[in-house]
Structure 1
């Protein structure tokens, strides 16, 4: 775990204790970083892909496992053969070192498969976090919205959507302004605010971070943004975490809580995409995240960071009639936008990835100083070379005639 707060007199004991328990949750036995598979089995469908033996649930709701001695399976340290009953809470040890944790009720059982040799687990050195700041412990209001559901995206491959319970809103004042976050409850009793902020895609993951609300204590809450955590998906792609709702974007930087996982240099070569390490020792994002990160830099008019993400040979093409440009020419054109006071926001609709290629659809929102606004549907292609952007192609649905010309935003 990170030691940047250790011994600091202003850090509460409760926070230090939470950091230790959080590290165990991620990197300890059965922790998130070692999770390689999530599976479910229920009657009458038998079998669990990737696991030895035959798993099945009887009509009466009993889970059994049928294995041979050659399978090398143990339950609670005891080798088993034949047909054995697997109770909820059991720990099934496999011959290759993986461990399957079983939980279930009502005839449906879930399995969490944990691998002590998982690349992220073996390479994880710490969870980088912002320094503890007591000003991020704030009063908030929970406004119940009984029966409400929302459709959220899931980080599955391919991406999927699911309707989940959204039983309330968290209303909190940050930076002198009141903000409202939709609260999800896909797991009963776990109220979760999944949010993004201006740091998302740069200092923190593009897929946002989580604020877990304290147990139900009525409408008045005390929430601690120092305990904001990274989504499980950051440590293992086995977790189909929710994608943040557009409504849950905070316009202020939440420089509190967890920032990014940090991997040991010795494990760099064993970590595969999207868990590869960057030069700074943190997890390097997959190409889809890099594409979005490039646009987040543009939203901030951070042209130096944009250029750093591109290869020396990078070129740009867009359908505005200007033809081919070098990356330097394109950035010079974009710099002209800063003088007009326009603000940009990119809302990602969908992405498709192949080796060294990303095709993305998004909506570009351009806000002018006078309050007028323009929305442009855009398709953008990113080509990569050695992890750097080498080609950008933009296909924009050009501005309607009554709204005038808008400088290209690629």
Structure 2
């Protein structure tokens, strides 16, 4: 972007606090950096990778059968699994269900998930090198020119837009509540991006830009504070972050709505994570 602006000490300090909080959240116990598998459950009891026991589903309920020798305990109660346990979820729900391994029996947590109306499990291993070697996400230097003024144009009613996800076998839905509209130097037209609603009226925008696949992941997202009464918003692309699928192949993260693209290099925010 032309005519670079110098960041103030206060701006840099706020951004550095944001980065510290973001890296700490990623490094949480059994967080996204610990994912080591994603596996669909079958109709007949069967072994799965990285977790003991026999796992299955009848389409409505997930079932696990194990013995005390398998070393599985329920995450919620710590009770040993000896026999058969079941769980039922709605689509898009997840449950940190059982755990095993390590000195305390809690190294690996097995998450039960319902995706695309099918049951799957994901293993979350605190010994994963992606987690143990994590030293923060690389980013562009803070650039105040990527703090953009725009406006939010809400829809009368939310619109569900079909989208893909990071897992080609899982379809998703983006509940668009309106469009964020702004201008970027170097782009002749206004940029319009579908937005989802977050807590307290904030917005979440998932987008492509020309850095994708080069210095950044295939897509990123940015949270926008609640629009002002006149509809104006501030979009700080220095706070653009990766989805979990940038760190692990086992995520089912939503892709941008078709056309949610910025036709320039947004050289701000998080870059491709280090190997």
Given the two structures, how large is their TM-score scaled by the length of structure 1? 0.49
Per the alignment, residue 93 of structure 1 pairs with: 99
Per the alignment, residue 269 of structure 2 pairs with: 257
Deviation track 1:185-233 (CA, whole Å, cap 9, x = no partner) reads: 699x88532222222221212x121112335766333332111011221
- Listed as ranges, the gaps of 5+ residues in structure 2 are 1-7, 89-93
Per the alignment, residue 144 of structure 2 pairs with: 134
Per the alignment, residue 243 of structure 2 pairs with: 231
Q: Which has the higher contact order (CA 8 A, sep 6+)?
A: 2
Moved more, 194-203 or 94-103: 94-103
Q: What value does the CA root-mean-square deviation take over the aligned residues?
A: 4.1
Equivalent position SS for 1:166: strand
For residues 138 and 110 of structure 1, the distance between their equivalents in structure 2, rounded to whole angstroms, comes to 40
Per the alignment, residue 223 of structure 2 pairs with: 212
Q: How does 1:240-279 map to 2 (within 5 A)?
A: 240-263=252-275
For residues 64 and 127 of structure 2, the distance between their equivalents in structure 1, rounded to whole angstroms, comes to 24
| Superposition deviation, residue 132 in structure 1 | 1.4
Do the aligned residues in 2 keep the contact of 1:25 with 1:32 (CA within 8 Å)? Answer: no
Aligned length: 246
Do the aligned residues in 2 keep the contact of 1:195 with 1:250 (CA within 8 Å)? Answer: yes
Do the aligned residues in 1 keep the contact of 2:181 with 2:191 (CA within 8 Å)? Answer: yes
Do the aligned residues in 2 keep the contact of 1:38 with 1:238 (CA within 8 Å)? Answer: yes
Per the alignment, residue 322 of structure 1 pairs with: none
Do the aligned residues in 2 keep the contact of 1:155 with 1:240 (CA within 8 Å)? Answer: yes
Q: Which has the higher helix share?
A: 1
- Listed as ranges, the gaps of 5+ residues in structure 1 are 1-7, 264-410
Per the alignment, residue 215 of structure 2 pairs with: 203
Do the aligned residues in 2 keep the contact of 1:212 with 1:228 (CA within 8 Å)? Answer: yes
Per the alignment, residue 115 of structure 1 pairs with: 125
Per the alignment, residue 74 of structure 1 pairs with: 73
For residues 82 and 126 of structure 1, the distance between their equivalents in structure 2, rounded to whole angstroms, comes to 40
Do the aligned residues in 1 keep the contact of 2:170 with 2:252 (CA within 8 Å)? Answer: no
Per the alignment, residue 33 of structure 2 pairs with: 33
| Superposition deviation, residue 261 in structure 1 | 1.0
| Superposition deviation, residue 124 in structure 1 | 3.4
Deviation track 1:259-310 (CA, whole Å, cap 9, x = no partner) reads: 12124xxxxxxxxxxxxxxxxxxxxxxxxxxxxxxxxxxxxxxxxxxxxxxx
Equivalent position SS for 1:196: strand
Per the alignment, residue 164 of structure 1 pairs with: 174
Per the alignment, residue 143 of structure 1 pairs with: 153
